[in-house]
Amino acid sequence: MSDQPLRPTEEPLNDLAVTYIQAGETLYLAIHDDIAARVRAAHPDAQHLEVSEDADGDLELHGIWSTQAPGLGTCRLLYDAHTTPAQDETLDGPLDLEELVDDLERVLAGPYLYHWGLAEPHPEYQHRDRRWITLPPADRAAHIARIVRRYVPDAISLICLFEANHGRIAVGFEKVIRASGESVTIPCPRCSPETPDSLWPHDVSHQLAGVLGQLYALPHLRSRHLTPCVDVTSEHGDQLWLLTFPYLEPALHTTP
C-alpha cells in the first residue's frame, strides 16, 4: 500500500486556488447584488450606502444616497438613519434594515468588494471613519456599452481577457469592434502604460475592468453576455471573451 497521503481531488492545486477565488467573488458579488435589489425596491434612485463599524465589529447604516454624477456634491439623501422614528417608517418602506446590515457585514468581511471598488473610504474627510458602498449597475453590459461608446460611438462589441492574478480575477483588453467590422486595438493597461493614442484614459480602463470583472465572476451574467473567442494575433495567447453590446438608444451613448 502506498504511504503517499490521499488528496480529496486530483485537480492541480493552482486550478483549485483559481476555483476558490472565483467562488468567493461569485458569492460576495451575488449577495451584494441582492442587497442592491432590495435597497432599490424601497429607494429606486439608490446608488450608495454610508456605513461605519464600531470597535466590536458591528456595522451601522448611516444613510442611503442617490447620485446623478460622480462626487458627493450631487448626491441626494434618500434615507437618514438618524431621523425620527415616524420618518423612518415612511422612508424605510419595505426594506428590512436589520437584515440589510447583517448582509452588509457578511460582504464587507471579505476583500472582494474592495477589489472591485465597490467599497471605499467615505468621500468627505470628516467622515473618513465611515465607508462608502457603491451599488452595482442594474445592467452591467449596458453600463459598459455606454462607457465605451463615449469614445467609440459605433462600437458594437469588446474583446477582453480574464485570468487569476495575485488572489483575484484580473481583466485585460484586446479590441473594440465597430459597426463597420473594423477592429480598434486597445493598449492593455496591464501590459503597457497609457499612451497618447489610447482610446480612453487609464481611469476609464480601471472603471471598465471593475464592471467587467463583476460580470465575469457571476456565472449567470457570464453565460448571458460573454462568448469565448480566439484571436491568433493576440499578444496574450490566452482564452479571450467577446462581449456584444446591447442595443442602446443613440441619446444614451453619446459623449456627455
> How far does Cα 24 stand from its chain's mean position?
14
Q: Give the C-alpha separation, 196 to 198, whole Å.
A: 6
**Of 143-147, 174-178, 249-253, minimum mean pLDDT range:** 249-253
Q: Give the C-alpha separation, 40 to 47, whole Å.
A: 8
Q: Give the residue from 202, 76, 212 showing the smallest Cα distance to 143.
A: 212
Average pLDDT over residues 35-58: 89
Alpha-carbon torsion (189, 194, 199, 205), positive or negative: positive
Confidence at residue 169, expressed as pLDDT on a 0 to 100 scale: 75
Q: Give the C-alpha separation, 212 to 225, whole Å.
A: 10
Confidence at residue 81, expressed as pLDDT on a 0 to 100 scale: 83
Confidence at residue 97, expressed as pLDDT on a 0 to 100 scale: 87
Strand, coil or helix: 236: coil
Confidence at residue 121, expressed as pLDDT on a 0 to 100 scale: 87
Q: What is the pLDDT of residues 173-197, one digit of tens each?
A: 889 999 999 988 887 666 665 666 6
Confidence at residue 87, expressed as pLDDT on a 0 to 100 scale: 43
Confidence at residue 255, expressed as pLDDT on a 0 to 100 scale: 39
By percentage, how much of the chain surpasses pLDDT 90? 31
Q: What is the pLDDT of residues 80-105, one digit of tens each?
A: 887 744 444 444 456 888 899 999 99
Confidence at residue 217, expressed as pLDDT on a 0 to 100 scale: 86
Q: Give the C-alpha separation, 97 to 81, whole Å.
A: 10
Q: Exposed (0-12), middle (13-18) or buried (19+): which is 52, by Cβ within 10 Å?
A: middle
- Whether the predicted pLDDT of 26 surpasses 60: yes
Write down the pTM of the prediction: 0.78
- Whether the predicted pLDDT of 20 surpasses 90: no
Of residues 199 and 157, more confidence is placed in 157
Confidence at residue 195, expressed as pLDDT on a 0 to 100 scale: 66
Confidence at residue 199, expressed as pLDDT on a 0 to 100 scale: 83
Confidence at residue 140, expressed as pLDDT on a 0 to 100 scale: 94
230 Ramachandran zone, left/alpha/beta (phi>0; psi -120 to 50): beta
**Of 60-64, 76-80, 191-195, 251-255, minimum mean pLDDT range:** 251-255
Are 98 and 92 a contacting pair, CB within 8 Å? no
